[in-house]
């Protein structure tokens, strides 16, 4: 456990802990998405569209909880504030999904890259966008509301 605290302390000195923990929970969110997708696709034998919708919905909820509690340490005073925060989170996740789709079209149809390379490149954009959306518009401290 001592190594954990040394590692965390070192990242905090460099103002990188929040980014690190965001990427850690982002990786877990991706894992949740993939596992749920395959459970619905292969285990329950649902259509890939249904499986993808369910997987994304579960991943969004998982990401909201982990970002709220462990990444940005956001506090809400009542249920109304929580619903507003969650609604913003879903809105910006849908926005980043749009960025994902537009980027995929550009990479695949215009730049003629393969779909795997396109997906990898777009995920970098999506992760950056999601972090910025969360930090600037969703989980910002209440005293810094723009």
Helix boundaries (H) for the chain: 2-13, 17-38, 48-66, 79-105, 115-133
What pLDDT score does 143 carry? Answer: 59
Contact 37, 52 (CB under 8 A): yes
- Give the per-residue pLDDT at 69: 94
Higher-confidence position of 143 and 57:
57
Lowest mean pLDDT among 16-25, 27-36, 47-56: 47-56
pLDDT average, residue stretch 22-40? 91
Of the candidates 126, 93, 120, 95, the one whose C-alpha atom is nearest the C-alpha of residue 108 is 120
Q: Determine contact, residues 40/58, Cβ cutoff 8 Å.
A: no
In tens, the pLDDT along 65-112 reads 999 999 999 999 999 999 999 999 999 999 998 998 899 899 999 999
Measure the CA angle with vertex 124, ends 121 and 126; round to 5°: 110
- Asked if residue 145 has pLDDT above 70, the reply is no
pLDDT (tens digit per residue) in 122-138: 888 888 999 999 999 99
Cβ atoms of 142 and 93 closer than 8 Å: no
What's the pLDDT score for residue 144? 54
């Amino acid at each position: 456990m001592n190594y954990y605290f040394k590692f965390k302390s070192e990242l905090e000195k460099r103002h990188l802990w929040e980014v690190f923990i965001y990427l850690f929970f982002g990786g877990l969110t991706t894992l949740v998405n993939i596992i749920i997708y395959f459970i619905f696709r292969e285990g329950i034998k649902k259509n890939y569209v249904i499986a993808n919708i369910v997987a994304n919905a579960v991943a969004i909820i998982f990401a909201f909880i982990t970002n709220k509690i462990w990444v940005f340490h956001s506090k809400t005073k009542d249920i109304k504030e929580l619903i507003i925060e969650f609604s913003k989170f879903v809105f910006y996740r849908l926005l980043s999904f749009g960025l994902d789709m537009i980027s995929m079209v550009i990479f695949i149809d215009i730049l003629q890259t393969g779909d795997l390379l396109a997906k990898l490149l777009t995920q970098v954009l999506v992760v950056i966008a999601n972090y910025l959306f969360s930090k600037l518009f969703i989980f910002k401290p209440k005293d810094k509301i723009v």
